[in-house]
Structure 1
Amino acid sequence: MSSHCTTVNFSIGVCSYVELTPKDTSEIEVHVEDLNYQKRFVHLEDLLSNQDKQLSLIRVLCEYWQPQQGFSVRSRSDSPVGAGLGGSSSLTVSFLKAFGQWLGRDWTAHEIVEVAHNLEAKLIQAPTGTQDYYPAFASGLNFIHYTSDGISLESQEIPKGVFEQHLTLVYTGVPHHSGINNWQVIKAVVEGDLRVLSALREINQVARSMQKAVLSSKWDEIPQLFNEEYKFRVQLTPHFSSPRIEELKDVVLSAGADAVKICGAGGGGCVAVWSSADKKSEVDCACQASGFQILPLSLEKI
């Protein structure tokens, strides 16, 4: 593998929301709006001993913070479950920011990412990456570099006009499970699978080329880079694609789109579609006519 790997991503307005209000008592009140879950607990130990699945993330967070005062917390997310948009990472960061504001902890980007990915790994009992947490903490267009010295972050303004003219975010309607596909890749790397190692090197090169294209505003290079990434992604494991993703790909390309990019760990979730400005409306209509859901980028929120 290269000694320097790069990830390119950017924030979108598919947001997570956490509202935390301290109480004068030991009582803890939890509202998870997406799961229609609401419960009160007499004190911290009462919450920590409760095994309700809907409490999983808050339980891990409370184990970490050990708050000595009661509070009310309410959360919700705009992201569909298993969309591949980093929704769980965004929600974890939102919780950490809310607790940090209450308990007097100021975060740097790298500090909150370190804690967030460790807590989420504990929650799902599997390794987690770090790239999804950065755009949730500090909005922007990010170039995340992984080197022997650690992680470095470059951020700049999102070219909102360009993305709004060319990019469509489509939900396939099929949730994915990121741990399954990613674990297959990790296992293959540990076992020295040359095909997977080669594909990872190529994906890293695509990411570097994407950074150059974005920084030089060479938007006409994006479709080719999407196509290259797609080719090498499915070489990691064919499960990154799926019949539903292939169906969407056929629909949008037939409608005039230039290329597609699988989001997250694939297998379902969301797909980014790049089209010329004069074809985007036609592509969007074709998606909806075929039963796919278009998610607004909502970049005005960023």
Structure 2
Amino acid sequence: MFVRARSPLRLGIAGGGTDISPYCDTYGGCVLNATIDMYANCTIELLKPEDGITFEAQDIEQTFHCPLQTKLPLTGELQLHKAIYNRIVRDFNHNEPLPVKVYTHSDAPPGSGLGSSSTMVVTILSAYQQLLNLPLGEYDVAKLAYEIERKDCCLSGGKQDQYATTFGGFNFMEFYDNERVIVNPLRIRQSILNELESQIILFFTGVSRSSAQIIDDQVKTTTSEDKKPLEAMHEVKNLAYSMKECLLKSNIDGMADLLRDAWNAKKSTSNAISTREIELIEDRVLSAGAKSIKISGAGGGGFMMLFVDPIRRLDVEKALKDLDGHIQPFRFTQQGTQSWTV
């Protein structure tokens, strides 16, 4: 028996970082994001007990195999795969071990800034949900994915990615204390989607990065004696509300202007968000006619989102040609995580 699942990666448009504790617990956070047609993929094959447990992350060429057992130690490679297996067995299979082979691959590398790690966790969970016919809603899946990453594996990060890929589409998300999350789906007219796709260039900088230092810096902003980073985080949050209003009113030029303000505010929350390489790219594309840029995700590398007047698009693309990295074609998608039986 085979089951498959796929979940879309997301673009962080505004508010990123305000979904991280303790900021969102103290002040409340909000994020505007949207999913795109790049995916994390999973196939699970149900095996015989004597075949044991196998995880195969095909895109990063890592494999794990062991005899059938109830709990896997969270050491070595494929920690997330192991943690997901442990939760599924403990919480949903009466502590009975599962003989499975789990294949995974993602359309984006780790550290892309598109929420690839959280998207993969949701995808694997969705495949297990299909395999075991688990009665889990969207909020249940997203919260479980968050707990596996942040609590079971002790990985730094926020809350938006798990909810973005689970729900899909354009969403305005609110984050409060006690891990309370409210997802507000936005109905965006097709004409607005068309214009956004015409104006946005998605560029991979060629550098995958770890978000841990940036996230740790942002965690410190809530209690730091230096109030400038905290004020910048408040500005990031306020701009997310303004960005949502522009989006719903089809004010794409206003979104481009706000993206510039949001990028400047975000850089003030941590010195690790921008780098010399990112600034060189920024100078080049702005000189070629781009209206504004922003790194998607925590920062430091990964994918960059550029707002460009379609008339100047080819000029900007030419300015990027001789740089490391590549332009990534994309379309927005309205579907969240999906799973099915083969």
Q: Could you say whether these structures have the same fold, taking a TM-score greater than 0.5 normalized by the shorter chain as the test? A: yes
Structure 2 equivalent of residue 81 of structure 1: 110
Match of 2:93 in 1: none
* Residue 132 in structure 1 maps to residue 161 in structure 2: yes
Residue 142 to residue 243, structure 1, CA distance change in 2 (3 Å): same
What displacement does 1:197 show? Answer: 1.6
Q: Secondary structure at the match of 1:105?
A: coil
Task: Identify the match of residue 106 of structure 1 among 123, 135, 141.
Answer: 135
2:207 and 2:278 map into 1 onto residues whose CA distance is 9
> Match of 2:321, SS?
helix
Matched, 1:12 2:41: no
- Superposition CA RMSD, Å: 2.2
Superposition map of 1:238-277 within 5 A: 238-277=271-310
Instruction: Work out whether residues 142 and 154 of structure 1, in 8 Å CA contact, stay in contact via their aligned partners in 2.
Output: yes
Match of 2:181 in 1: 151
Q: How many residues align?
A: 300
Instruction: Say if 1:49 and 1:205 are closer, same or farther in 2 by CA, change over 3 A.
Output: closer
Alignment match, 1:35: 60
Tell me the residue number matched to 1:59.
82
| Partner residue, 2:247 | 214
Higher relative contact order (CA 8 A, sep 6+): 2
1:290 deviates by 2.4
Q: What SS is found at the alignment partner of 1:265? A: coil
Take 2:262 and 2:214, find their aligned partners in 1: how far apart are those partners?
16
Please say if residues 143 and 162 of structure 2, whose CA atoms lie closer than 8 Å, have aligned partners that are also in contact: no
The alpha-carbon distance between structure 1 residues 127 and 29, as it changes in their structure 2 partners (threshold 3 A), is closer
Q: Distance in 1 between matches of 2:125 and 2:273?
A: 30
**SS at structure 2 position matched to 1:217:** coil
1:235 matched residue in structure 2: 268
- Name the TM-score, length of structure 2 as normaliser: 0.81
**Any gaps of 5 or more consecutive residues in structure 2?**
1-22, 90-95, 336-342
Looking at structure 2, the residues matched to 260 and 209 of structure 1 have their Cα atoms a distance apart, in angstroms, of 17
Equivalent residue letter for 1:107: L
User: Which range is displaced more, 21-30 or 219-228?
Assistant: 21-30
Structure 1 residue 294: Cα displacement: 1.2
In structure 2, do the counterparts of structure 1 residues 212 and 301 end up closer, same or farther at CA, with 3 Å as the change threshold?
A: closer
How far is 1:157 from its partner?
4.8
Q: Which has the larger helix fraction?
A: 1
Contact 2:204 2:303 (8 Å CA) reproduced = yes
In the aligned structure 2, how far is the partner of 1:182 from the partner of 1:229? 17
C-alpha contact 1:56 1:123 (8 A) present in aligned 2: no
Partner SS, residue 185 of structure 2: strand
Q: State whether residues 35 and 164 of structure 2, in contact with CA within 8 Å, keep that contact through their aligned partners in structure 1.
A: yes
Letter of the 2:117 partner, please give it: S
Distance 1:270 1:240 in 2: 13
CA contact (8 A) 2:83 2:153 kept: no
**CA 124–267 in structure 1, closer or farther in 2 if over 3 Å, else same:** farther
Q: Which runs of 5+ in 1 are unaligned?
A: none
- Matching of residues 92-103 of structure 1 within 5 Å: 92-103=121-132
Q: Which among 214, 217, 220 is matched to residue 184 of structure 1?
A: 217
The Cα offsets for residues 144-168 of structure 1, whole Å up to 9 and x where unpaired, read as 0224683211113554312220101
